[in-house]
């Protein structure tokens, strides 16, 4: 989980005691934030899931199992000039580009 995701996560956990579901495609990043949360007793309970936001069956399973109230998506490129030079990749791999592909089942609880 990068700087943006880690910052958002820490603020959410500090202000809310609900279950936090971590989804990251980087095993190392997920492991590091998972271990940090375990080390900081008093933090909200969490589930660490190794996977990708574009994996529609996985995301649907997560949504059906945990029925989250709020979803934060914190993907960001760190090297903006490189992405500007490679616009096609930057656009298709950006958060809006990745979230347009899968169609997730979001069912109302009421």
pLDDT band, residue 110 (cuts 50/70/90): very low
Q: Which tokens is 62 given? A: 């997560």
Calpha distance 26→20 (Å, rounded): 17
Residue 106 pLDDT > 60: no
- Residue range 83-105, pLDDT digits in tens: 788 877 776 666 554 554 555 65
Instruction: Decide the pairing of beta strands 46-50 and 20-24.
Output: parallel
Residue 29 pLDDT > 50: yes
pLDDT band, residue 51 (cuts 50/70/90): very high
Q: In this prediction, what percent of the chain has a pLDDT beyond 90?
A: 11
Q: Indicate the helix (H) or strand (E) that contains 31.
A: helix 27-39
């Amino acid at each position: 989980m990068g700087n943006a995701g880690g910052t958002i996560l820490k603020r959410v956990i500090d202000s809310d005691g609900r279950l936090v579901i971590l989804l990251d495609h980087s095993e190392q990043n997920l492991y590091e934030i998972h271990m940090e949360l375990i080390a900081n007793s008093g933090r909200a309970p969490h589930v660490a899931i190794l996977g990708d936001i574009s994996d529609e069956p996985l995301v649907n399973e997560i949504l059906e199992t945990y029925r989250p109230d709020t979803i934060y998506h914190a993907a960001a490129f760190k090297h903006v000039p490189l992405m500007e030079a490679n616009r096609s990749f930057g656009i298709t791999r950006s958060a809006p580009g990745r979230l347009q592909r899968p169609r997730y089942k979001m069912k109302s609880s009421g």
